[in-house]
Amino acid sequence: MASVSWPSAVAAPDNTTIGFNSAGLLTVLQAPKLVLPSGLSIQQDSSNHMGFFNGSTEFEILDGVGHHVFVNTSGSTNNYNIEVITNGTTTTLTSPANSISNYPYVGDIGVLYIRGNNLFIDGENSAVSILSNQTNGNRLLVPGNIGIGAFGGAGNYLIYNLGAVAADSAFSAVNLSASYSTTSTTPVSTGLGTAGVIVSRFIVGYPLVVNFEGYGYNNTLGDGVTLSLYVSTAGVPAQGSAPPSTDTLLTSITVTQEGSASNPNSMPITYVYKTTSQGTYYFYVAINAVTGGTATIATPSTIVVRGW
């Protein structure tokens, strides 16, 4: 049977030596590395793992169980390694950092990053946080309004002001807690008004529908009562105070007291209001007697505003 004899070692042009080790395996005996273009190399690192180097700087590691580790090469202690783990079922991205992000961002371009168990979609002035593993279940938290159905430019479709949502929404409904009477023949606040309705810059000009369902009367036959709807950006005036000059009268309804004194009259008001600027808007009802007597707004009376 023919045989082939090998020399104890073969020297390559770059002085790498290839030969048989003590176990009889053909291996690299000296300078164990593979030199790649542009100064890149693959060699055994100080932890006995396969290391990818740029000169003497290791920037990626393939460890003994096949995990890829992308090494922080900036020299800053604020930066961390990122590890990719694949076990045949799932692939996991891990880091000892408390945030994995595509920072920095420019202008209104948002960033997507992970901090702990939280996923954040961050913008220039605000952020949307999608939180998981909370004690009360999964949640969607936002620092401002949520909007729906508008085009915001630059290919972005926006969500805005969902109605009937607690706090800072485009919906408010308030009942009159108790009847209120006045002898004033000029409007004074009944104290019945909505919570603040938020209007973002994306929905300026969209209509807000205001409905008042209530009752008014005068204790003097032939006299009457006027109920007026106002809008304010400062809040609902205290009961009995005159509407500030900065508030706007939208519409009013007047009834003459007929049949019997103090007999309640239904006095419904519906008004479609279009905002002219972003901000917070309040709608409230004022009352006055027509010429004399005592004018009263009675319960049940309710004011409702709905947005879009």
**pLDDT per residue as tens, the chain (308 positions):** 556 565 665 556 556 666 666 776 666 655 555 556 677 888 888 888 888 888 888 888 888 777 788 887 777 777 777 777 776 677 777 776 655 555 554 444 455 555 655 556 555 444 454 444 444 444 555 555 444 455 555 555 555 444 333 334 578 899 999 999 999 999 999 999 999 888 877 678 888 999 999 999 999 999 999 999 999 999 999 999 999 999 999 999 999 999 999 999 999 999 999 988 888 999 999 999 999 999 999 999 999 998 76
CATH of domain 171-306: 2.60.120.1340
Handedness of CA 153, 159, 161, 162 (dihedral sign): positive
pLDDT at res. 241: 97
Instruction: Match 């279940």 to its residue by tokens.
Output: 137
Residue 297's pLDDT is 98
* Structure-token pair, residue 269: 């008001």
3-state helix, strand, coil in the chain (%, to 5): 0, 50, 50
Spell out the domain ranges in the chain.
32-94, 111-143, 171-306
The pLDDT score that the predictor gives to residue 255 is 97
The whole-number pLDDT of residue 165 equals 39
Question: Tokens at residue 29, please?
Answer: 């005996």
CA distance 268 to 252: 10
pTM beyond 0.85, yes or no: no
Contact between residue 216 and residue 227 where contact means Cβ atoms under 8 Å apart: yes
